[in-house]
């Protein structure tokens, strides 16, 4: 029997990385929020790799932190090894990645949710969403509890009609043996949402006591690790070691001999998988001449012997997985604790969403994370934040919260999804941004803390610290421009220290010998000084491109525009513009199938 349990403002469906950020953002902005999860033991779970960050993903975590999100702070409480990737390249692609204790991360996040004001964490499956006058009005649990609400955020991850596949063993299941969310899919389809089937996968996990690390290469953390959150005051501590090994010709032979038993190649898997995180079967088929592939052996936590084999994602039968694992140096006697599996799930076509992540067909219904066609914990978390903030602001009668491509990787991710869509699970990469030299992880605070402060999720104290930091950066840049090396140092005294640091071999530290009156400054300040001076010309050029980008973004398109009536638009452009309903000329220009000629016709019609 159905009954009304509690009237709320926002219902968040799913307590993975998207749901956590959505619920926290909504509750912190004063909205009565309930976060529904299939299992309280899976809150903040990491069913795939036990890590936070990585190339471009580290940028997302830093940006989320500077807006007032939670992932960076939680990672710094739970991570056990930190490494800054791409140090040999320019600062635009430096990305922090940290190995996490997946059990501690879940504990930290669950405790954070439980202590948050305006937020209730509830174990229940959402089976229905009621709609009145084109807007959501309530969610109903499988047990019949009704929660009248004004906004719903779908963060179902890989649970929505989830199906796990290992060889010919197929189960209706979510990740890690959890039960799938099977009741909500028909309702979402009935609401007119265009759902698709995507697929991802995981590798086997093995017991450390059965691994011979002497045959592997150690992968230590950084000697001076940096935290994710710019608010973390205590330096992170590396407490774990990762290891590197490789597949062998025998590994590849085993896989090739059993391709007919692979669900990816015998038709058992129908969902579309991620291009940038392929299974080992796909690697062997795609790169037949490659003699070996890297495998990273990563701990799942400090309180367990379970190890994750990064790079060996598979859906092959269990007997083949055993043979395959035992062909790898150091894993000859490895005891598998969890077998690899592929998982298929339902997700929405993200072009059905506004940049606020609200659906176009149902007011008050939002999507975030893998439900929107993305992959990865970090991509999910930032979308959850965007959806949570927008749901709260809409209910409070405030303007939409939209980050554009020139402000952040978060803005790039959302714009890519809602404007271009994605034919496969979307993964953020630095190459997806046109402005990556400006959108660095080190300057996320000056780019985004002000926005977070305006929203109400960054404190006055933090904002003051950011302003003081960049005032110090500016003072030091000006001082270096006005300071010249002493005449007795054997260097051209006609150039300033600012000029000197622009030389390829120069750093802020190694030119100290020419700078007798150098002030004592935090590394966070001197790092910004060095980057701003060394890359000044490139940054200025990028800022000019950003100014032009914003000019087009400010040319708004009416929401009710009839594209069929605009002379000069091709049929394909009319169809896609009518379906996506771009908010601006800039967004229209990024829609696949809208040509420069179509843009010219639009600009003439708009009088731009």
Q: What is the DSSP string of 1-42?
A: --EE----SEEEE--SHHHHHHHHHHHHTT--EEEEES-GGG
* Residues 9 and 395: beta-carbon distance below 8 Å: yes
Whether residues 312 and 357 share a domain: the answer is no
pLDDT, one tens digit per residue, over 243-298 is 999 999 999 999 999 999 999 999 888 889 888 889 999 999 999 999 999 999 99
Domain extent, residue 258, equals: 205-341
Do 448 and 480 fall into the same domain? Answer: no
Would you say residue 547 lies in a domain? Answer: no
List the CATH number of the domain containing 196.
3.50.50.60
* Same domain? 192 vs 213: no
pLDDT band at 608 (very low <50, low <70, confident <90, very high): low
Share of the chain above pLDDT 70, in %: 100
- Pair (230, 335) in one structural domain: yes
Residues 79 and 150 in one domain: yes
Alpha-carbon distance of 154 to 35, in angstroms, equals 10
Of 341, 359, 377, the position where a domain reaches its end is: 341
Note whether residue 163 is domain-resident. Answer: yes
CB 353 within 8 A of CB 200: no
Domain count, the chain: 4
Shared-domain flag, residues 324 and 296: yes
Looking at residues 302-325, what average pLDDT do you find?
A: 98
- 593 close to 604: Cβ distance less than 8 angstroms: no
Full-model pTM = 0.96
pLDDT in tens, 525-569: 999 999 999 999 999 999 999 999 999 899 999 989 999 999 999
> Of 146, 175, 170, nearest to 38 (Cα)?
175
Strand ranges in 215-271 using DSSP code E only, listed in sequence order? 217-219, 242-246
Reply yes or no on whether the pLDDT at 28 is more than 90: yes
211, part of any domain:
yes
The span from the CA of 211 to the CA of 215, in Å, is 9
| Residues 285 and 298 both lie in one domain | yes
Q: What average pLDDT does this structure show over 444-468?
A: 98
Q: Is there a single domain that holds both residue 265 and residue 387?
A: no
Which 3 state secondary structure label does DSSP give 237? coil
Same domain? For 215 and 327 the reply is yes
Do 578 and 527 belong together in one domain? no
Q: In this structure, is residue 544 part of a structural domain?
A: no
- Quick one: 93 and 242 in the same domain? no
Average pLDDT, integer, range 121-126: 98
Residues 195, 286 within the same domain? no
Closest CA to 62 of 521, 535, 439: 439
The per-residue pLDDT for range 39-79, each reduced to its tens digit, is: 999 999 999 999 999 999 999 999 999 999 999 999 999 99
Last residue of a domain, one of 394, 426, 455: 455
CATH number at residue 560: 1.10.150.570
């Amino acid at each position: 029997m159905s009954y009304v349990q509690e009237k709320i403002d926002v219902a968040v469906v799913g307590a993975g990385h998207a749901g956590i950020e959505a619920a926290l953002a909504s509750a912190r902005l004063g909205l009565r929020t309930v976060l529904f999860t299939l299992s309280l033991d899976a809150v903040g779970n990491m069913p795939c790799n036990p890590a936070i960050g990585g190339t471009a993903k580290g940028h997302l975590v830093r940006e989320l932190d500077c807006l007032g999100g939670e992932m960076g702070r939680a990672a710094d409480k739970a991570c056990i090894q930190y490494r800054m990737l791409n140090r040999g390249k320019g600062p635009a692609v430096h990305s922090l990645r940290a190995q996490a204790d997946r059990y501690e991360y879940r504990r930290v996040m669950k405790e954070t949710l439980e202590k948050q004001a305006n937020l209730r964490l509830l174990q229940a499956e959402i089976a229905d969403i009621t709609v009145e006058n084109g807007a959501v009005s309530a969610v109903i649990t499988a047990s019949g509890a009704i929660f009248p609400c004004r906004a719903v955020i779908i963060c179902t991850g890989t649970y929505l009609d989830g199906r796990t596949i290992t060889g010919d063993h197929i189960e209706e299941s979510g990740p890690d043996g959890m039960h799938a969310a099977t009741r909500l899919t028909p309702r979402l389809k009935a609401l007119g949402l265009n759902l698709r089937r995507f697929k991802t996968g995981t590798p086997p996990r093995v017991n450390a006591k059965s691994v011979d690390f002497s045959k592997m290469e150690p992968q230590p953390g950084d000697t001076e690790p940096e935290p994710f959150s710019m608010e973390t005051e205590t330096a992170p501590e590396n407490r774990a070691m990762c290891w590197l090994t490789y597949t062998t010709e025998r590994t590849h032979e085993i896989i090739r001999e059993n391709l007919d038993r692979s669900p990816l190649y015998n038709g058992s898997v129908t969902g579309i998988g991620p291009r940038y995180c392929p299974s080992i079967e796909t690697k062997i088929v795609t790169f037949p001449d490659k003699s070996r592939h890297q495998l990273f052996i990563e701990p799942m936590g400090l309180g367990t012997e379970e190890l994750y084999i990064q790079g060996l994602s598979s859906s092959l039968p269990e007997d083949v997985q055993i043979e395959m694992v035992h062909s790898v140096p150091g894993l000859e006697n490895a005891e598998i604790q969890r077998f690899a599996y592929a998982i298929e799930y339902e997700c929405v076509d993200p072009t059905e969403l506004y940049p606020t992540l609200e659906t176009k067909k149902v007011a008050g219904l939002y999507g975030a994370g893998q439900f929107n066609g993305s992959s990865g914990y970090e991509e999910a978390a930032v979308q959850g934040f965007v959806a949570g903030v927008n749901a709260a602001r809409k209910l409070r009668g405030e303007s939409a919260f939209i980050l554009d491509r020139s402000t952040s990787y978060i803005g790039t991710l959302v714009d890519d999804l809602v404007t271009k869509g994605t034919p496969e699970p979307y993964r953020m990469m630095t190459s997806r941004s046109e402005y990556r030299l400006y959108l660095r992880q080190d300057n996320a605070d000056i780019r985004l803390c002000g926005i977070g402060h305006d929203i109400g999720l960054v404190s006055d104290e933090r904002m003051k610290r950011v302003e003081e930091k960049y005032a110090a950066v500016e003072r030091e840049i000006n001082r270096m421009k006005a300071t010249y090396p002493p005449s007795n140092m054997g260097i051209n005294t006609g150039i300033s220290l600012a000029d000197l640091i622009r030389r390829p071999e120069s750093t802020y530290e190694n030119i100290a010998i020419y700078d007798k009156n150098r002030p004592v400054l935090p590394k966070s300040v001197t790092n910004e000084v060095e980057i701003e001076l060394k890359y000044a010309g490139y940054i200025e050029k990028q800022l000019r491109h950003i100014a032009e980008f914003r000019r087009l973004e400010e040319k708004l398109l009416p929401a009710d525009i009839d594209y069929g009536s605009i002379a000069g638009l091709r049929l394909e452009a009319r169809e896609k513009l009518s379906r996506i309903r771009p908010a601006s000329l800039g967004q229209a220009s990024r829609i696949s199938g809208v040509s420069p000629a179509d843009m010219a016709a639009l600009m003439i019609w708009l009088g731009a």
